[in-house]
Amino acid sequence: MTARTFTYEPKLVDKIVVRDFAFEFPGDLDPVWRPDNPVVTHLFNGLSLVKPYLEPYLAKSTQAAIPYIDVPELVQDMHAFSAQESRHFECHRRLNEILKSNGYPELAGVEEKMARSFARLRKRSLRTQLAYNAGFECMTNGFTNWMINKRTTLFAGGSPHVVSFFLMHAVEETEHKTVAYDLYMAYSGKYWPRAFGVLHGTFHVLGYSLLGMFTALKKDRQLGKPRGIFSVAREVGSMVYNVAPYLLRALLPWHNPRRDQDPQWMKDWIRGYARLPKGAMLPLVDTSDPTMPVPFADTTDDRQGVRSVGERRRGERRHRMVSDVASVLGFPDRRVGDRRSAQQLASA
């Protein structure tokens, strides 16, 4: 039975869309897919390694809670959440198999540890599992904002396949960021288990991700070199700096992921994807572009499109009139640039 204190609030997105990950990784993919920064590469590979263990667990525990929830909108979100997470881990598994067969078979040892750990987690109470899920997903919002907003720093020159996949995953994580939180609040709503879940989910996943990263860096003999150690400190420090504020906010008793605004790039991506013809392959992000725009041809905001017909003309007329009046009064004409010297301007 849903907790009496729970009231469903609208999400920041209209709908959680279940999409195909319609692209294939090249079979000869270099596991160091950002060759100029092996530490960032192995950090994200480490995160990828956890997903085929974490995400099936998230989907199964969410499905197990459906009989306890009698809010139709939330149940619909839970189905979409589980379907998205299932597609994520299938794609991560494909990537991870390539990473192992193209140079890092040692990662299989980390996978065995994770398989045991997530099997133990599945035996915990449903409340503990849902608190873990809510905590982890709230912290993940920090990760997705970091990945999307700092994409040019993190992924410049990287494999377009891997980068497009990580960014699409980040978009969908942002899209469904309210579901695990809502589910916990509807199932229990108690503060302390949720606060513990934030730490439990965060450190459990990050711990295994870093174990994967260090396993690969050890194989690359990067850990014995001052340059390698400095690079690890810099990249992991950057991750903590960008994600920690979200983790700390998630610990507040009044936290709600709806308070975190979604990045504009994510909104543009969703709008661009919606216009993609059915069955079309996903276009890849251009990692050589200095701004790494969304990989869709036309992502102009619809509202701007409507405005451009009438409002934009009126706005331009207003702007011309103001500029004419300003130039008559002796102010610089900004339309053509001000060609007066600094001395002339000072005496104007």
- Between CA 235 and CA 50 the distance in angstroms is 19
Closest CB 142 distance from Fe ion, rounded Å: 13
Q: Which is nearer to Fe ion, 139 or 217 (CB)?
A: 139
Residue 136 vs 232, nearer CB to Fe ion: 136
Q: Which is nearer to Fe ion, 90 or 286 (CB)?
A: 90
* Least Å from the CB of residue 137 to Fe ion: 5
Per-residue mark of binding to Fe ion, 122-161 (x: CB under 5 A): ----------------------------------------
Q: How far is the CB of 202 from Fe ion (least distance, A)?
A: 13
Joined together, the tokens standing for residue 315 give: 């706005």
Q: Would you count residue 173 as binding Fe ion (CB under 5 A)?
A: yes
**Rounded Cα–Cα distance for residues 127 and 121 (Å):** 11
| 1 Cβ contact partners less than 8 Å away, ≥ 6 residues apart | 68, 70
Nearer to Fe ion, 173 or 260 (CB): 173
Q: Which is nearer to Fe ion, 62 or 222 (CB)?
A: 62
Q: Which amino acid is at 51?
A: K
Report how far residue 154's alpha carbon sits from residue 188's, in angstroms, rounded to the nearest whole number.
38
Q: How far apart are CA 133 and CA 181, in angstroms?
A: 8
Evaluate whether 31 touches 193 at the Cβ level (below 8 Å). no
Choose the binding region for Fe ion from 84-92, 248-256, 271-279, 316-324 (rule: CB under 5 A).
84-92
Q: How far is CA 242 from CA 82, 177, 236, in A?
A: 27, 17, 10
Q: Which residue is nearest to Fe ion (CB)?
A: 88
Structure tokens at 173: 């994580």
Q: Where does this chain touch Fe ion (CB under 5 A) — which range of 90-98, 165-173, 255-263, 303-311?
A: 165-173
Radius of gyration of the chain from Cα atoms?
24
Minimum distance from CB of 318 to Fe ion (Å)?
A: 46
- Least Å distance, CB 165 to Fe ion, is 11
Span of 6-14, 147-155, 166-174, 212-220 interacting with Fe ion by CB under 5 A: 166-174
- Among residues 88, 151, 194, 255, which is the contact residue for Fe ion, using CB under 5 A? 88
Paired tokens of 81: 């959440």
Piece of the chain touching Fe ion by CB under 5 A; list 31-39, 171-179, 201-209, 283-291 = 171-179
> Could you say which DSSP state residue 254 is in?
T
Question: Among candidates 172, 147, 125, which has minimal Cα distance to 13?
Answer: 172
Q: Among residues 85 and 182, whose Cβ is nearest to Fe ion?
A: 85
Distance of alpha carbon 147 from alpha carbon 345, whole angstroms? 45
* Residues contributing to the site for Fe ion (CB under 5 A): 85, 88, 173
